[in-house]
Amino acid sequence: MAWAYWVIASLGGFDGIVKKIKHAASIKKVEKGLERFYIMYDTAKMLGQIT
């Protein structure tokens, strides 16, 4: 069980873990947004709206 405490401590305690999780979640949100933007851009290009 001691290794679990070591892992938590090495990640910066519980606050550090929460920050890492929030950071990872925000990166995922940005990726989703970019994906949507590219899909919209490609669609507009195919329809000839963007030359």
In a domain, 7, yes or no: yes
The whole domain housing 32 covers: 2-46
8-47: per-residue pLDDT in tens?
Answer: 788 788 888 888 889 999 989 999 999 999 999 999 888 8
Give the per-residue pLDDT at 15.
84
In a domain, 11, yes or no: yes
Give the per-residue pLDDT at 10.
80
Please spell the DSSP secondary structure of 5-39, one letter per residue: HHHHHHTTHHHHHHHHHHHHHHHHHHHHHHHHHHH
In a domain, 24, yes or no: yes
Give the per-residue pLDDT at 34.
92
In a domain, 31, yes or no: yes
Give the per-residue pLDDT at 50.
65
* Number of domains into which the chain is organized: 1
More confident: 44 or 51: 44
In a domain, 33, yes or no: yes
Give the per-residue pLDDT at 51.
56
In a domain, 51, yes or no: no
SS3 50: coil
